[in-house]
Amino acid sequence: MTASLIQCIVVLYKQNPMEAASLSSLLQICAKDSSIEARIEILVHDNSPKAQVDQFTPGSERFDYVHDPSNPGLAAAYNRALAKAKNDQIPWLLTLDQDTAMDENFLLQLLAALESDESEKACAYIPELINDGLVLSPQIVGSILYHRIPFGFFGVPARPVVAFNSAACMSVSALMAIGGFPKNYWLDYLDHIVFYRLQAAGGRVYVLNSQLAHSLSLQNIESEVSMDRYNNILQAEWRYVGESSPRFGLMIHRIRLLKRSVVHFFRLKNKNYAIQTLRAAIKRSASE
């Protein structure tokens, strides 16, 4: 029997696995194409307060299911899948959120890339994640601002990139070399810091000629992001900037926060988002 090539990890929160776009689309593709199914292992990590699956759920025999009501976030789930991949000698880890639907073209492109001689030259393969015609991920890291990659770009960008974790396929050996997924980024900015560390260690990120639809919770911040979550985002954002940017990068980030607080004040009904953003900028300044 041929060893699996990809270990997939799907992280859920308060959603039945069979209703998650990522898992349901992945299972449909595997049912349609046995050659894809033979190359993939699936682990579902459920952070919901109550288990969302039992042995009678249709399709559940096709994936491993772990329930952790303590809701440890993404890093713990990803590290569990990383350890499983290493133990099972699976060379690649595909991270999926619950809302990104897979398509067959993406998986076929990904598998072809991983099985080519070029796979040893990349630490990660990623699609373009699209919303309303704009590329949300990846973005090119500039000295001051991030820059959008053109729609339809594929290949290795000339400059480092940041990318979202959903549908990112990363080398298990490269992840192990940087210590896996850091626990202090348990949820927010985990993808940013991992891609930064992979590339800082000399890794190359390959953008596939594939586009997947993706929604961004920060675009609907008042309805989708609680104040506790937003505070965690602000803390993780400072932590990431502190590690990935030189000192002037901290100054630039403070300016970004001040600008963001003004935008939130005038655009959002709940002024607490503006207040917390302003506090994040001032508090960091006072602590330096």
pTM score: 0.92
- Residue 15 predicted with pLDDT over 90: no
How does pLDDT run across 170-194, given as a tens digit for each residue?
999 999 999 999 999 999 999 999 9
Q: Which residues of 104-127 are buried (b: 16+ CB within 10 A; e: fewer)?
A: eebbebbbebbeeeebeebbbbbb
Q: Which residues of 61-77 are buried (b: 16+ CB within 10 A; e: fewer)?
A: eebebeeeeeebbbbbb
Cβ atoms of residues 56 and 65 within 8 Å: no
How does pLDDT run across 72-115, given as a tens digit for each residue?
999 999 999 999 999 999 999 999 988 888 999 999 999 999 99
> Position of tokens 């900028």?
281
Helix and strand element counts for the chain (H, E): 10, 11
pLDDT mean over 251-258: 90
The pair of three-digit structure tokens given for residue 275, joined into one six-digit string:
């207040």
- Local confidence band at 274 (pLDDT 50, 70, 90 cut-offs): very high
Instruction: Count the residues in the chain.
Output: 288
User: Could you give all domains of the chain from N- to C-terminal order, each with its CATH number?
Assistant: 6-215 (3.90.550.60), 219-287 (no CATH)
Which of 180-189, 202-211, 219-228, 260-269 is the least confident region? 219-228
The pair of three-digit structure tokens given for residue 30, joined into one six-digit string:
């595997």
* More confident position, 132 or 269: 269
Peptide bond into 160 cis (omega under 30): no
Highest average pLDDT, of 38-42, 61-65, 244-248, comes from 38-42
> What's the one-letter identity of residue 156?
V
Average model confidence (pLDDT) across the chain: 89
8 vs 256: CA distance, rounded Å: 35
How does pLDDT run across 142-159, given as a tens digit for each residue?
777 788 898 889 999 999
**Closest to 55 measured CA to CA, from 65, 47, 45:** 65
> Position of tokens 């810091």?
193
SS3 5: coil
**What's the 3-state SS for 83-122?**
HHHHHCCCCEEEEECCCCCCCHHHHHHHHHHHCCHHHHHC
85 vs 165: CA distance, rounded Å: 17
Cβ atoms of residues 63 and 43 within 8 Å: yes
- Residue 217 predicted with pLDDT over 90: no
* More confident position, 236 or 148: 236
Cβ atoms of residues 97 and 12 within 8 Å: no
Parallel, antiparallel, or unpaired for β 146-148 and 92-96?
unpaired
pLDDT mean over 57-61: 63
